[in-house]
């Protein structure tokens, strides 16, 4: 379904990432602070701060909103 990069991509997060956005994801994990997604070079999380490459949210709804804002730079 998706390639595991660095052996860390979290399946609970990746099931919410549309196929069109999977190539943008470098890493994804869940810890006590919430859910995290780090984007590869050349991608932005447009709904976060300007030129942001990291998404951090505490709820699935907020995470899905941020994932929808992922876009290729340029």
Q: C-alpha angle with apex 49: 11 to 18, nearest 5 degrees? A: 30
Partners of 37 in beta bridges: 28, 55
Question: Residue 2's pLDDT is what?
Answer: 44
Place of tokens 């780090």: 38
pTM metric for this prediction: 0.84
Q: Please count the helices (runs of H) and the strands (runs of E) in the chain.
A: 3, 5
pLDDT digits (tens, 9 = 90+) for 4-29: 444 467 888 999 999 999 999 999 99
Structural domain boundaries in the chain: 11-72
- Per the CB < 8 A criterion, the answer to whether 5 and 32 are in contact is no
């Amino acid at each position: 379904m998706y390639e595991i990069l660095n052996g860390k991509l979290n399946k609970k997060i990746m099931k919410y990432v549309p196929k069109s956005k999977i190539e943008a994801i470098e890493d994804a994990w869940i810890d006590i602070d919430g859910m995290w997604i780090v984007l590869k070079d050349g991608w932005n999380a447009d709904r976060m701060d300007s030129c942001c490459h990291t998404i951090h949210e505490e709820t699935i709804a907020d995470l899905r909103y941020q994932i929808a804002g992922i876009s290729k730079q340029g």
